[in-house]
Structure 1
Amino acid sequence: MLNEKKLEMAFKRYSKNFVEGIKYDEVKEQYEERKHEIKSIVELNEIEKDHILLIDLSSISSCYFSKWKNDVLINGGRKFDELKKVQKVVFYQCMGQELYITRYPNMRVRYTFSEVITALIHFTMFGWEREEKILFDFIIKHFGRHLMDVNDENRHIWFLLELYLQYRNKTIMGTNQKLHLIVIEQLKENGLEYDLIPESLDVYQAVLEQWSNQDLELTGNLVEGMSLYHSKLAAEIGSLGEFGDFGYAFYPYEILFLIYVRKKHRLPVPEHFDDFLMITPEAKMIIDDPEPYPEWDPLLRLIDDFYRKNYPDYIPNKQGELFQ
């Protein structure tokens, strides 16, 4: 049973964190501090130091992540503007990381599997099909290897990836059903780490088996089950584990993606929600179809132009102009 009081208190902690903890003004200062470093490397064309540009992308992401929280969570906005920039940075972290496979084969990857799948799902919901395809191709190319370590414990991420595969009629390792189990077996055979990957997707398995049903009441029950699962974990804000962090604890994007996919298939979806999770500010953001591309961050543009200039094999060089 869900402790509603505990959940509400957790949400207050979640919101307070972006007022008294991770303050946008302080994060913006860190962004400004990186500006000189990035401009110096680019202007001097310091290729021997350019891996620092990849590292500095995290500061750009943090800046817009904090601004998103400030705009939506604190000030009651309804738009995805700043979150779009966060997902865009994840894309360029992937594109840049591939450049250093030979020079720095053991270089720490600047993103997580969860972050990349989250970006893929948002690109899909935003209607950015070109960038979605490029990112998916990157995932496939490096799946299970150093640049795409899939030893991830988050059930909702495996749910999102499998639902995406079924929605787009794609496969990974030859399947789009119970992918997590196939991945466990494949990694085990290859002597790679797989211990964090869940053997059960819990409530999400039932959703995957029935997401395309025609029954509105059944769909409502599935959404209710997902919301309950998410809410119980979000109520433990500050703890380790799924939905226990201050990033997406009260942003039910796995449910929003299910609703998006059903709408695309012209299947009935619930129009109103009463549970706490689904009426939080982040849950009520409005997604346009398609979402316009965000403005380019000037530092991200500098980094992209630098990589395009110096690395012919840089993936965006083969794709022309992106995000416009």
Structure 2
Amino acid sequence: MLNIKKVNLAYKRYQQNFETGTKFERIKARYLNNKKEVMELSELNDKERDHILLINLGSVITYYLSIWKNDVLISQNNRVEALKQMQIAVFQQCMAQDLYKVRYPQMMTEYRFREVVMTLIHFTMFGWNREENILFEFIVEQFGGSILEVEESNKHTWFLLELYLKYRNKELWESNHNLSKTVKEKYLKAKVKNDLIPDDLEVYNEVLTNWETKELSIIKSLVNEMVEYHSILASGLGESLEFGDFRYAFYPYEILFLLHVRKKRGLPNPEHFDDFLMNTPEAKMNIQDPEPYPELDPLLKMVDEFYRKNYPEYIPNQHGELFQ
């Protein structure tokens, strides 16, 4: 049962973490130091140590995460520019990681499956079709492999990916139905570790069954269930694995994506929300359709240019200039 007092207390902690707890100057200093290192590697064209470029992309995400939270969560000005830079950085991590799968087969990825799916659905919401398609092809090629392990416990991640497949009429492993169950069953047969993959997506199963309903009352009821599920887990800030992290606990992007794809299909959505979660600054961000590309972060630009110059097989080389 949802405890409103607990939700409010968790949200205050969530907000204070970025208002007073996060040391932005330290984060910025690390970003600037990594930017300097990338510049030096680029000038030397140092291919022996260029994996450092990939590792340094993490500081871009952390840097823009802090800017995004300050813009939206603290200042409440609805700017999504920093959020866009974060998604581009994850995309570049995927593209660069592909280059090292032979040279460093044991190299740990700088991203998680959930972050790749999150980027995919944000590209979709931003209307960045070229980049969305490139990232989806990466997912198809690497799904379940060493550079895109999919032993993921978060139910909303599996929900988002399956909803994306249904919306775009695409498939993974010849399926766009009960995807997590399909993957788990194949892993069981192959005796591959699958303990974290959920057997049941709970509320999301019903949403996936009815995501195209024309009945406003049905979608209202389902959204309310999603809101309650998310809110209960977010109230366990720092404890819940699903929505208990300090980065996205009160950012209901799984609900926003559902509303987005329904709107694109011309289906009715609730116009007003009375709950706490859907009235947070992050939930009320103004995402345009399509969203303009940002001016690319200088560190991201240098990394992209290095890989384009030195690796013909670098995936973006097949697609020309991106994010413009």
TM-score bracket for this pair, using the shorter chain length: over 0.9
1:242-272 CA distances to partner (integer Å, 9 max, x unpaired)?
Answer: 0011011000000000000110111100000
- Report how far residue 182 of structure 1 moved: 0.5
How far, CA to CA, are the matches of 2:268 and 2:121 in structure 1?
21
1:260-297 CA distances to partner (integer Å, 9 max, x unpaired)?
Answer: 01101111000000100000000000110100011111
- Report how far residue 80 of structure 1 moved: 1.3
What aligned pairs does 1:1-324 form with structure 2 within 5 A after superposition? 1-324=1-324
- Report how far residue 127 of structure 1 moved: 0.2
Residues 234 and 244 in structure 2, CA contact (< 8 A), matched pair in contact too: yes
- Report how far residue 190 of structure 1 moved: 2.6
SS in 2 for 1:174: coil
TM-score between the two structures when normalised by the length of structure 2? 0.99
How far, CA to CA, are the matches of 1:292 and 1:64 in structure 2?
17
- Report how far residue 65 of structure 1 moved: 0.8
- Report how far residue 187 of structure 1 moved: 1.7
SS in 2 for 1:5: helix
1:213-247 CA distances to partner (integer Å, 9 max, x unpaired)?
Answer: 11111110000000000000000001141001101
How far, CA to CA, are the matches of 1:226 and 1:247 in structure 2?
19
Residues 162 and 177 in structure 1, CA contact (< 8 A), matched pair in contact too: yes
AA of the residue aligned to 1:113: F
1:132-159 CA distances to partner (integer Å, 9 max, x unpaired)?
Answer: 0000000000001111100000000000
Q: Could you tell which deviates more after superposition, 21-30 or 78-87?
A: 21-30
Residues 6 and 235 in structure 2, CA contact (< 8 A), matched pair in contact too: yes
How far, CA to CA, are the matches of 2:25 and 2:322 in structure 1?
30
- Report how far residue 79 of structure 1 moved: 2.3
How far, CA to CA, are the matches of 1:269 and 1:80 in structure 2?
23
Q: Could you tell which deviates more after superposition, 186-195 or 211-220?
A: 186-195
AA of the residue aligned to 1:76: Q
How far, CA to CA, are the matches of 2:197 and 2:134 in structure 1?
25
TM-score between the two structures when normalised by the length of structure 1? 0.99
1:47-95 CA distances to partner (integer Å, 9 max, x unpaired)?
Answer: 0000000000000111001100010000011121110100000000000
- Report how far residue 188 of structure 1 moved: 2.1
Residues 262 and 269 in structure 1, CA contact (< 8 A), matched pair in contact too: yes
- Report how far residue 19 of structure 1 moved: 1.6
SS in 1 for 2:121: helix
How far, CA to CA, are the matches of 2:177 and 2:102 in structure 1?
34
SS in 2 for 1:86: helix
RMSD over aligned CA atoms reads 0.8
SS in 1 for 2:48: helix
Name stretches of at least 5 consecutive residues in structure 1 with no aligned partner: none
- Report how far residue 23 of structure 1 moved: 3.0
How far, CA to CA, are the matches of 1:308 and 1:148 in structure 2?
22
Q: Identity over aligned residues, as a percent? A: 56
- Report how far residue 24 of structure 1 moved: 2.5
How far, CA to CA, are the matches of 1:192 and 1:41 in structure 2?
39
AA of the residue aligned to 1:62: T
How far, CA to CA, are the matches of 1:143 and 1:158 in structure 2?
13
Count of aligned pairs between the two proteins: 324
